[in-house]
Amino acid sequence: LAGTHIICDRKFLLECKNSPAARTPPCCLPQTPGVTSLAQSSLVKLEELKERNESEEAMPGEQPRATAP
C-alpha cells in the first residue's frame, strides 16, 4: 500500500474542533466566490432581502404577501 495511514482517536479529534487554529481560515486560501467566500450574487440577494424585510417592518398595517421562489 502506498501513502501513510494516520489514526486519530475520537477524544483528540473533538479537542481539535475547539482549537483556535480550526476556527481561522488558512492564510494562503484563495478567494473563490461561492466556495471560500459568498458569491457576489449571493451578497446582492442578501442585501435585497434585508431591505425588503426592513420595509415590511416599517409598514405594520399591510398584510404580508406570498412571494414566488
Domain contains 57: no
For 37, counting Cβ atoms within 10 Å of its Cβ (0-12 exposed, 13-18 middle, 19+ buried), the class is middle
Cβ neighbours for 37, distance < 8 A, ≥ 6 positions apart:
31
Domain contains 11: no
Number of folded domains that form the chain: 1
Residue type, 25: P
Q: Report the predicted TM-score, pTM, of the whole model to 2 decimal places.
A: 0.30
Domain contains 44: yes
pLDDT tens sequence across 17-67? 888 888 777 778 787 777 777 666 666 777 888 888 888 777 666 555 555
Query: What are the residue ranges of helices labelled H in 1-69?
Result: 10-17, 20-23, 40-58
Domain contains 58: no
Domain contains 68: no
Domain contains 35: yes
Domain contains 42: yes
Q: Residue 60 carries which DSSP code?
A: T
By residue range, what is the domain housing residue 40? Answer: 26-52
